[in-house]
Amino acid sequence: MDAVKLITFDCYGTLIDWENGMLEAMRPLFGNGDMARDIELLALYGDVEEEMESGSYMSYRQVLSNTVREMGSRMGRRITQEDGERFAGSLITWEPFPDTVAALKRLAARYRLGVISNTDDDLFAETKKKLGVEFDPVVTAQQVKSYKPSRRNFREMLSRAALPIEQILHAAQSVYHDVIPATELGLKTAWVNRASIRPGAGAAKAAVGQPTVEVKTMAELADRLLV
């Protein structure tokens, strides 16, 4: 890790607590249930979102809306277009994990920080206000018209970073969206394996990868790097 000069991050799930954010927005649509229901919602969300993102490109707002409506169809719940749009709009209210901002500020004192996010520019612009640091580069799905795990998103970051690949570390919660494709391209990877009611995956599609390092929080990542 001594060679690292740039750390790029996934945003939602790694820096932002998307699991609790989306559950809070989904529960009124699907009925407040117990933990088993919440786990069911997260697992179905991960599978359906992956299906939506693997087809022809659409905005992330549309992905979110279509995902929750398709979940309703599979669970026998009527989710209207307005419901879907409201769910998509809730993303800007999702908050950072308690350790995120302090860890980012610590890391920014030594490293250049970047973001590779499956989102729209305007949505990330609102989220960025909560994070307290600057990011360069910022690669969104909207900019490249594809969603991770597409290698295109990572190659765009590498082009903009203008650094040797050994000087870049990519940190993320999702093995499926981030760890696997980044590792295949030769990037160092940090799996931020956040605590979740659905261990190892959260709201992402479940997968198995081989990260360079595994940590539980952003605070732990900062501790590991700033020695």
Residue 186: which region, alpha, beta or left (left: phi > 0; alpha: psi -120 to 50)? left
Q: What is the mean pLDDT of residues 149-157?
A: 98
Tens digit of pLDDT for each residue in 31-78?
A: 877 899 999 999 999 999 999 999 999 999 999 999 999 999 999 999
**What pLDDT is attached to residue 227?**
86
Strands of 213-215's sheet in order across:
138-140, 112-117, 6-9, 168-172, 188-192, 213-215
Does 10 participate in catalysis according to the annotation?
yes
pLDDT digits (tens, 9 = 90+) for 201-215: 888 988 999 999 999
Structural domains in the chain?
6-17+94-225 (3.40.50.1000), 18-93 (1.10.150)
Query: The tokens of 99 are what?
Result: 């350790």
pLDDT higher than threshold 80 for residue 92: yes
Question: What CA–CA distance (Å, rounded) separates 151 from 12?
Answer: 18
Q: 137 vs 107, 145, 168, CA distance in Å?
A: 16, 16, 12
Round to whole Å and give the CA distance between 129 and 11. 13
Name residues whose C-beta falls within 8 Å of residue 7's C-beta, 6 or more positions apart in sequence.
Answer: 107, 111, 112, 113, 114, 168, 169, 170, 171, 225
From first CA to last CA, the distance across the chain in angstroms is: 11
CA angle 77, 25, 105 (to 5 degrees): 150
Radius of gyration, CA atoms only, the chain: 17
Say which of 10, 38, 120, 178 is annotated catalytic. Answer: 10
Contacts of 125 (CB under 8 A, 6+ apart): none
Peptide bond into 149 cis (omega under 30): yes
Q: What is the pLDDT of residue 88?
A: 98
pLDDT at site 224: 96
The amino acid that residue 182 corresponds to is A
- pLDDT at residue number 168: 98
Give dist(CA 51, CA 42) in Å, integer: 14
Phi, psi of 12 (to 5 degrees): -85, 115
All residues at 6 or more sequence positions from 226 whose CB lies less than 8 Å from its CB, including other chains: 106, 107, 110
- Mean pLDDT score, 78-83: 96
pLDDT at 200 over 90: no
